[in-house]
Amino acid sequence: MGHQTKVSERNGSPETAPSALARDVGEFSHDMLTLAELQARLFVTDLQECRERVFVPGLVLLCGAALGLACFPVALAALALLLVQVFETSHATGFLLATTVGAILSALLGVSGWLLVRKRLAVLQRSQQELVRNLCWIKKVLERNRATRSDSTDNSWRTVT
């Protein structure tokens, strides 16, 4: 039996399965933490850029809303009284028409303001897209590792006699 080749305890595998698994999990965890850190940095950068882009339009929107809220009731009352006087309608009809005009103007201004602010918030899509790409990469790595583990057979438990 001295002429037979001696087989190591690992049966030719470069490292034991628990050691390889621990190394793979450690590397994957390191990659995950790095991705999380980069994702957080990107999100903070996007928020800073968003704040810079939205500040002036948001301030304009807020001032417009405050001024509109302050002036709107007086303007609508004046419009209603004008409608009553010009068209010789009842006060109820004049105020109802003025309210309708006010509601339509309010809706138009609200929608246009919302669209302007939403356009400025589009900078956050960068973070969202990067997060989706990172999650896809994680799923791909996990699927690849799972497929590799199920395809390879672990013969380290066998002994040679």
pLDDT digit string, tens, across residues 121-145: 777 787 788 888 888 888 887 777 6
Segment 99-122 mean pLDDT: 86
**pLDDT confidence of residue 161:** 45
Query: For residue 71, is pLDDT > 80?
Result: yes
Average pLDDT over all residues of the chain: 79
- Mapping DSSP to helix (H, G, I), strand (E, B) and coil, where does residue 15 land? coil
Question: Which carries the bigger pLDDT value, residue 160 or residue 101?
Answer: 101
Q: How far apart are CA 99 and CA 79, in angstroms?
A: 9
Q: How far apart are CA 127 and CA 130, in angstroms?
A: 5
Q: Which residues contact 64 (CB under 8 A, 6 or more apart)?
A: 109, 113
Task: Answer for the pair 112, 32: CB distance below 8 angstroms, yes or no.
Answer: no
Q: How confident is the model at residue 8 (pLDDT cuts 50, 70, 90)?
A: low
pLDDT-above-70 percentage for the chain: 78
